[in-house]
Chain A
């Protein structure tokens, strides 16, 4: 049994390899980009819009709204990053409904990659908002004694992000796989449904945590 789609390698050339995770990710990227392009190709500013446009508008405005609710003053600046996090994870998880599909988010490499981007994004937005000095000062808050703990916290939460998502998604897939062996009928379907819910919740949790981290990194100066 494969724990991670990384293990299915289609092509390898030295350090480079083309595994299932990367291929699935490309497929998802293609689908998402093409879908967005097709829908937004004929956007209208009329009062009446197409259903797909409404659907995308609802998703985008909802993400923006959530970012705003967390406490970021200018949600538009973070929309691309946080929105993409949420949409990628959500789509990746929702596609588990497809037979034979293995979500890239079930790969620790992918979740780690996402967690690393969050780690750097927090620093990037923090420095961008308050400057390098002010941002570095946040590691000395409330006192310099807290510096090691702050650094540890920074890495540990990044690690936690990666592990949490990987664990949840991987476990979901594993449970379905195990259940298929034990009870091939009905139960896997229920678990799949539960998996959809878990997938969405995980996507939400991942992006909200990323937002909170960014908000924490950019808020100090404002206070």
Chain B
């Protein structure tokens, strides 16, 4: 079994060359490729992991943002609702207050107007009534009436007594001029004589009297002495009546106002008189015109 030592040496060299060649062309490139691929895969895995972590973080962020947004939205909504409620309440209160003020103003204005109108109507009615009465009496006045008035005046003179009479007598004594008897119309001579006689008897005076016509005295006679006066006329009655009526009318609005302030919030108490007043407004003037 021969061993060729040259071949042995040659094969050793060949083998070592082959080792180098394979190391150069096989192992190194292959191992490098494997390492590269592993690195690449590891890098990709790491990248994927990083991306996954990033995605998770993003998801958490997003979720947190969503929750924050929801909370914020709820809080804002609540805030807005509260603010709206407060504003609504405020506006309602304001409106109510304004309405109350307006209603009060309106009521007050209505009352004033009503009062003024009522007063106006009353005064107008009063005036009309007295105008009618005066006109009536003037129209009715004639000789008989004048005589009758003269007789009544005389009776009245004779009926004087007490302090009234004394005062008149004191006035007569201090009177230097003649006595003045005024009447709305010219007294007939007979009546003048009766009056003069009665004056002389009652006041025991010799003084002469003169007679004047004063149309403002409605169907009446008046004796005035130094400020003191004895008179009878329908105008006096009318004046007294007018005075009484005026006093009554003046006292009535106060009473009405009191009664209305007791229950101001009842609409019927404000509207009803108003309507009544309107009706009076429409009805009264034509009636008054008709009388005139």
CB-based contact A25/B3 at 8 Å: no
Q: Is the interface of A mostly helix, strand, loop or mixed?
A: helix
**Given contacts A21-B7, A37-B25, A45 and B37 within 8 Å (CB-CB):** yes
Partner of B17, one of A29, A104, A110: A29
Which chain A residues border B158 with CB–CB below 8 Å? none
CB-based contact B37/A6 at 8 Å: no
A86 to B71, CA, bound (A): 73
- Shortest CB-to-CB span from A7 to chain B, Å, is 8
Taking CB atoms and an 8 Å cut-off, the chain A residues in 106-130 that contact chain B are: 107-110, 112-114, 116-117
Cβ of A173 within 8 Å of any chain B Cβ, yes or no, is: no
B1-18: CB near A (< 8 Å → 1, else 0) gives 111111111111011111
**Given contacts A4-B2, A56-B30, A60-B31, A116 and B23 within 8 Å (CB-CB):** no
CB-based contact A22/B15 at 8 Å: no
Cβ of B36 within 8 Å of any chain A Cβ, yes or no, is: yes
Instruction: List the one stretch of A76-84, A175-183, A198-206 in contact with chain B.
Output: A76-84
Which chain A residues border B14 with CB–CB below 8 Å? 22, 25-26, 29, 113
CB-based contact A84/B36 at 8 Å: no
Give the nearest-CB partner of B12 in chain A. A113
CB-based contact A45/B2 at 8 Å: no
CB-based contact B33/A117 at 8 Å: no
Cβ of A15 within 8 Å of any chain B Cβ, yes or no, is: yes
Partner of B11, one of A56, A81, A87, A114: A114
- Shortest CB-to-CB span from B13 to chain A, Å, is 9
Taking CB atoms and an 8 Å cut-off, the chain A residues in 1-17 that contact chain B are: 3-4, 6-7, 15-17
- Shortest CB-to-CB span from B172 to chain A, Å, is 154
**Given contacts A33-B18, A45-B40, A83 and B33 within 8 Å (CB-CB):** no
Give the number of chain B interface residues (Cβ < 8 Å): 34
CB-based contact B34/A117 at 8 Å: no
Cβ of B41 within 8 Å of any chain A Cβ, yes or no, is: yes
Partner of A47, one of B6, B17, B25, B41: B41
CB-based contact B11/A80 at 8 Å: no
Cβ of B204 within 8 Å of any chain A Cβ, yes or no, is: no
* Residue from B1, B11, B18, B21 with most neighbouring chain A CB atoms (10 Å): B11
- Shortest CB-to-CB span from A52 to chain B, Å, is 11
Which chain B residues border A60 with CB–CB below 8 Å? 26-27, 30-31, 34
Which chain B residues border A79 with CB–CB below 8 Å? 27, 31
Which chain A residues border B18 with CB–CB below 8 Å? 29, 32-33, 84, 88
Taking CB atoms and an 8 Å cut-off, the chain A residues in 51-98 that contact chain B are: 53, 56-57, 60-61, 76, 79-81, 83-84, 87-88
Which chain A residues border B25 with CB–CB below 8 Å? 33, 36-37, 40
Partner of A112, one of B3, B6, B37: B3
Cβ of B151 within 8 Å of any chain A Cβ, yes or no, is: no
Cβ of A46 within 8 Å of any chain B Cβ, yes or no, is: yes
Cβ of B19 within 8 Å of any chain A Cβ, yes or no, is: yes
**Given contacts A45-B36, A45-B37, A76 and B11 within 8 Å (CB-CB):** no
Cβ of A19 within 8 Å of any chain B Cβ, yes or no, is: yes
A107 to B4, CA, bound (A): 9
Partner of B15, one of A36, A84, A107: A84
Partner of B30, one of A26, A43, A88: A43
CB-based contact A114/B4 at 8 Å: no
- Shortest CB-to-CB span from B80 to chain A, Å, is 57
A48 to B1, CA, bound (A): 51
- Shortest CB-to-CB span from B71 to chain A, Å, is 47
CB-based contact A80/B23 at 8 Å: yes
Which chain B residues border A25 with CB–CB below 8 Å? 11, 14
Which chain B residues border A40 with CB–CB below 8 Å? 25-26, 29-30, 33
CB-based contact A36/B26 at 8 Å: yes
A-B contact pairs, 8 of them (CB 8 A): A3-B1, A4-B1, A25-B14, A36-B21, A45-B33, A76-B31, A109-B5, A110-B11
Chain B positions near chain A (C-beta within 8 angstroms): 1-12, 14-19, 21-23, 25-27, 29-34, 36-37, 40-41
Given A22-B10, A36-B21, A56-B30, 9 more pairs with CB closer than 8 A = A21-B7, A22-B7, A33-B21, A33-B22, A40-B29, A43-B32, A57-B34, A76-B31, A117-B12
